[in-house]
Amino acid sequence: MFQPIELVIFDSDGVLVDSEPIANRVMAEAATAAGAPMDLQEAMELFRGRKIAFCVAEIERRSGRVLGDGFIAEVRRATALAFDQELKAVEGVHEALGLIRQPYCVASNGPLEKLSHTLGLTGLYPRFEGRIFSAYEVGHWKPDPGLFLHAARTLGTDPARCIVVEDSISGVTAAKAAGMRVLGYAGEGPHAATALRDAGAEVFDHMRDLPRLLAQSV
């Protein structure tokens, strides 16, 4: 029997902002230039929901060389520029947030500067201001549960009364390890739905369905 939900914890990339295709395209281009050729699909499969240090380590392993100190800074610069030109909110998320009655926050592997940038570009920042949690604050990156536990503790909520909205396997794994329910957003179709379900998430396909699913958890 599930306990009533008192806090909804959102991932950001791929759940609130449609950033994953943009960020992973930039990473794939950077990896290819560094001697580790890959396309967008492979980058999405490898890097979705992962911290940038993991991405760098994988590119170094594939290329057989150590990347320069400026690699991460250049990837972040190129990604920010691409976001400025292309980033949009996930379809239906503004409407969904307007209908959700439980308190909510965002907890992401990304640095706070990136979160402020992407949420600001998409008009979502005012909805989350003061309730934005970054793995860089706590030193725990998904799939470690520490970030989610930090968010729950800061907002005074028992982990068993939290529900996480995620789109990545690492995020689902972190939420399950934290003792939280997980709703897996499978906006990319059946393949994503199967992977999220196999990881232990309750899967949904459209943000318009989220308020109803959360209302059933009160």
Q: What is the CATH number of the domain that holds 70?
A: 1.10.150
162 within some domain: yes
Q: Is the pTM of this model over 0.85?
A: yes
> Which sequence positions are flagged as catalytic?
11
Long-range contacts of 40-49 (CB under 8 A, 24+ apart): 44/20, 48/14, 48/20, 48/24, 48/167, 48/168, 48/169, 48/170, 49/11, 49/13, 49/14, 49/109, 49/142, 49/166, 49/167, 49/168, 49/169, 49/170, 49/171
Where is the domain boundary, 86, 108, 123?
86
Where is the domain boundary, 67, 86, 105?
86
121 within some domain: yes
Instruction: Please report the pLDDT score of residue 190 as a whole number.
Output: 65
Angle between helices 40-47 and 20-33 (to 10 degrees): 110
Instruction: Report pLDDT digits (tens) over 75-106.
Output: 999 999 999 999 999 999 999 999 999 999 99
Instruction: Please report the pLDDT score of residue 135 as a whole number.
Output: 96
CATH of the domain at 186: 3.40.50.1000
- Domain tally, the chain: 2
Instruction: Please report the pLDDT score of residue 48 as a whole number.
Output: 86
Percent with pLDDT over 90 in the chain: 90
Instruction: Please report the pLDDT score of residue 192 as a whole number.
Output: 84
One domain for residues 105 and 209:
yes
Domain span including residue 144: 7-18+88-215
Instruction: Report pLDDT digits (tens) over 178-188.
Output: 999 999 999 87
Where is the domain boundary, 65, 86, 107?
86
**Whole-number Cα distances in Å, 193 to 50, 75, 110:** 19, 29, 23
One domain for residues 99 and 199:
yes
Whether pLDDT at 21 is above 90: yes
One domain for residues 181 and 105:
yes
